[in-house]
Amino acid sequence: MEEINTRWNTLNKKVAQRVAQLQEALLHCGKFQDALEPLLSWLADTEELISNQKPPSAEYKVVKAQIQEQKVSKHQGEGWIDGMGELWTPRQYFGGPAVTDKV
């Protein structure tokens, strides 16, 4: 009977640890989802902006300005992606590759 009691207590501890891990994973999923929604909105807005851009200009100064606009847009996107990578490390919770890992 003592062995059964010991096994039961061990199982209860493992279940409690698993519940704690799942709760932490749920918290991180929520943070990721909260960050993902504005990223998707920015992405849709940027796609629309890009699709409505004028063709490249024949004027040097205008082309330079157009290039700068593209660089700013790209930089913003990279900032979003970097921020998402910091939030999401599924290997820690699910054993899968992290966003920044090469698959």
DSSP string of 51-71, one letter each residue: HTPPPPPSSHHHHHHHHHHHH
Q: Is residue 101 part of a domain?
A: no
Q: Is residue 100 part of a domain?
A: no
Q: How far apart are CA 21 and CA 53, in angstroms?
A: 47
Q: Is residue 102 part of a domain?
A: no
Note the pTM of the prediction, 2 decimals.
Answer: 0.53
Name the burial class of residue 93, with classes exposed (0-12), middle (13-18) and buried (19+) by CB atoms within 10 angstroms of its CB.
middle
How many domains does the chain divide into?
1
**What is the enclosing helix (H) or strand (E) of 22?**
helix 2-51
Q: Along the 103 residues of the chain, how does pLDDT read in single tens digits? A: 999 999 999 999 999 999 999 998 898 888 888 888 888 888 898 889 888 888 898 999 999 999 998 888 888 878 777 777 666 655 555 555 554 444 4
Domain with 23 in it: 2-94
pLDDT in the model for residue 10: 96
Q: Is residue 59 part of a domain?
A: yes
